[in-house]
Chains A and B, each alone.
Chain A
Amino acid sequence: MEAFIDGISAISPQKTLDGSVFLQELQEYKGVHALKCIEPPYSDFLDPMASRRMSRIVKMGACAAMKCLKEASLENPGAIITGTGLGCIEDTEKFLTSLYTNEEKLLNPTPFIQSTHNTVAAAIALMLKCNSYNNTYVHRGFSFESALLDGLMLLHEGTAERVLVGGLDELTNHSFAITNRLGFWKRQPIDSLRLLEYKSKGSLAGEGVAFFALNREKSEKTIAMIRSIDTIFNPGTPAETERRLSVFVEKAAGGMGKLDLIVLGMNGDPEMDEVYRHLVNTLFGLVPCAYFKHLCGEYDTASSFALYLAAAILKEQKVPEAIRLDKRSIGQIKNILVYNHVRNSNHSMFVVSAC
């Protein structure tokens, strides 16, 4: 299953609201534990009256969606599909806090309403008055992948001609503090662009929103195409991942030899990165490799940032030095494999190609 990508947009810790600026000016964060998004002036895309009541994740999501649709000249998508690992946690925390502090009395319902995981997809539909198919996936490191597969299927079925698909997750002070207690993040502050140099346990926390306008047909807006997507749930060994990935690449791109770049989800935690190292030393052979989580941090839907990055690279035909894992020469870039996993349990892969 494949689709043409007519529009991309992201709000991330990088200057992604403009795709070409992003690749030229990578943001470095010094002495941090977490990366937060560079938020745009929302009034360029959202009605201030409406956005006043929106939480941060809803604003980021709705804004990125509007920008993406504008780029693709798509007014009324045939589907709006989002993926989010943790959903609207700021509002969830807000409602829980008021529930306990006010002892269940006289609670403001707004944070409860907006705590629902499908709030962003619904807000976009509401802004567009879009009655089309609307769905939200909430499965850890498969959240964005499930949304993407659903979108590809809708195009394949002919149920929709053009769809909007997005991945989104927010980091809050509470969610950072709790996941920090769970040992997800490095204890010492780090310089983000040197993420892989630290040998300590844990990763760098992150967040972000990325949206994609997918088209069944190639159009004048087409930037790239997504060829195929697959997921592996709890692979037993790196060898199993290698086998599955090899079959996938053969089918999606015609073999490893056809790949011009591989974008990997290394997150700086030696245990989590083991499988990537295994693959770099075996299956990937001499294909140039890159990584991305030093740009956006680790979160459930970070693979949506990777798709944004891959599409931007294909469009600009430029790979920043700071994302490269080797010095192999890179010529014209036609096919990029993105391979990512979240907590070694949810593995995903997709091929993005120039067209």
Chain B
Amino acid sequence: MSDRVFVTGIGVISALGFDIDETASALQKSKSGIGRISLFDTVYKEEIPVAEVKASNIELAERAQVKQDGLFSRTSLLGLIAARQALSQAQVRDFAGTRTGLISATTTGGMDRSERFFKEYLKNNRRGRLRDIVTHDCGNSTEIIAKQTGIRDYVTTISTACSSSANAILLGARLVQNGMLDRVLAGGVDALTLFTLNGFNSLMILDRNGCKPFDEERNGLTLGEGAGFLMIESESLAKKQGKTILGEVKGYGNACDAHHQTASSPEGNGAYLSMEKALITAGLKPAMIDYINAHGTGTKNNDLSEGIAIKRLFQDSVPAFSSTKAYTGHTLGAAGAIEAVFCIMALQHQWLYPNLNFRQTMKELGFSPVASFQHHVPVRYIMSNSFGFGGNNTSIIFSGC
């Protein structure tokens, strides 16, 4: 557990844009990616807003530099685009002589195709195109990214609901620190699907007007899609190769709320523990955190539980915090990684992100998120929270260099 873990490349695709530059521009302009559903047919087309990546699979395939021969899920294409950006920024061109791993994360894998298969299959079990089902499992998109990029020393996929890709970063950092790998491309991806739209709708937690995290009048989350990847490397490798260091994975914590399958505990136990563990591994005191990129989904339950956990841990020194989900929507398995990319960008440029759609302070909390985009703010340590169904809570601390 000696080597430090540096971030040398980041990649992102979401409703905010196709790359880092477009994303940075939308973030600075406080421009949300939330809009109407166009990707698939649903009875909720007029009713439920979502944050789509504004491109068809054909366009995405072009950006991913693959032939769209109908063999890729949207999940794979989104993942590949973000993965290539991170590799390119980190100037990783070949893999000889270094042990490189790929850890991806997703909640529903290639469901965007398999749900179409299943519709036909249900009518007649001889029907449904088999090419639409072979991309179903969560490992499929990861293996496509591995094959396309050439990474093969270690390949795995994590699925812990909405904390999935935060756990991918956590595992990547540990594999490097334990000397198992020299560098890891870690992140996550999820595409919007009819399955998840209806799933969250059946739970009655989709805001009909776009999410308002940490607002007294918040009324649920808004689904999004996208991918984020970080190239993380051991200090020795990054220095030996003279890499530009974008940030450091300073600490991490994974804890289970163990309260309920979907609801968070009222006192935010799991969130408290994951944040506390992250501070301990980072060797930091709560007051040293400059900004929290909160999980902040916009559901009544999450924001209250997370807010209370923040209050309990940080007490009188609650740092600047916001949820960026009113920008990107909740990208589920990709959220932890996309938000990690945002954290690295904030450290690079000394930015603070606004919590869009926020109006009224939650009365149980008595403190409010960042209201507008801020430049030139001294930001050294950022905590990123990702919480999922099953009480799977993960917090990561990034620091600037």
Contact = CB atoms under 8 A, between A and B. Distances in A.
22 contacts: A95-B199, A97-B118, A99-B198, A104-B43, A107-B198, A108-B202, A112-B195, A113-B261, A115-B199, A116-B107, A122-B256, A122-B391, A123-B390, A134-B255, A138-B106, A139-B138, A139-B155, A142-B139, A146-B156, A174-B125, A231-B154, A233-B155
B273 interface: yes
A133 B253 CA distance: 8
Given A100-B118, A109-B202, A116 B390 contact: yes
A329 B199 CA distance: 57
B148 interface: no
Interface stretch (B61-69, B129-137, B362-370): B129-137
A56 interface: no
A47 to B, nearest CB: 15
A97 B346 CA distance: 43
Given A131-B255, A134-B255, 12 more contacts: A92-B195, A109-B203, A116-B161, A128-B258, A129-B258, A131-B273, A134-B160, A136-B160, A137-B157, A157-B178, A233-B143, A345-B143
Contacts of A321: none
B3 to A, nearest CB: 13
Contact of B158 (A99, A128, A136): A136
B314 interface: no
A113 B258 contact: no
Interface in A176-191: 177-178, 181-182
A132 B154 CA distance: 25
A12 interface: no
Contacts of B262: 113
Interface centre among B106, B115, B138, B388 (most CB of A within 10 A): B138
A6 interface: no
A99 B142 CA distance: 27
A118 interface: yes
A112 B261 contact: no
Nearest to A79: B254
Contact of B269 (A107, A112, A131): A131
Interface string B83-125: 0000000000000000000000011010000010011011001
A49 interface: no
Interface stretch (A67-75, A80-88, A207-215, A216-224): A80-88
B118 A96 contact: yes
Interface of A: 80, 85-87, 92-93, 95-97, 99-101, 103-105, 107-109, 112-119, 121-123, 125-126, 128-140, 142-143, 146, 150, 153, 156-157, 174, 177-178, 181-182, 231, 233-234, 345
A104 B42 contact: yes
A86 B106 CA distance: 12
Q: Which 7 A-B pairs have the closest CB atoms?
A: A122-B390, A112-B199, A117-B159, A109-B202, A140-B139, A134-B256, A139-B157
Interface string B177-204: 1101000000000000011001101110
A134 B156 contact: no
B174 interface: yes
Contacts of B106: 138
B256 A117 contact: no
A130 B256 contact: yes
B257 interface: yes
B81 interface: no
**For this complex, into which size category does the number of interface residues on chain B fall?**
35 or more
Nearest to A154: B174
A117 B273 contact: no
A123 B106 CA distance: 20
B121 A178 contact: yes
Contacts of A108: 202
Contacts of A182: 130, 133-134
Contact of B255 (A97, A112, A133): A133
Contacts of A107: 198, 201-202
Interface in B266-296: 269-270, 273
A118 B202 contact: no
A104 to B, nearest CB: 5
Given A99-B194, A140-B139, A125 B261 contact: no
A134 B154 contact: no
A349 B40 CA distance: 43
Contacts of A112: 195, 198-199, 202-203
Contacts of A142: 139, 155-156
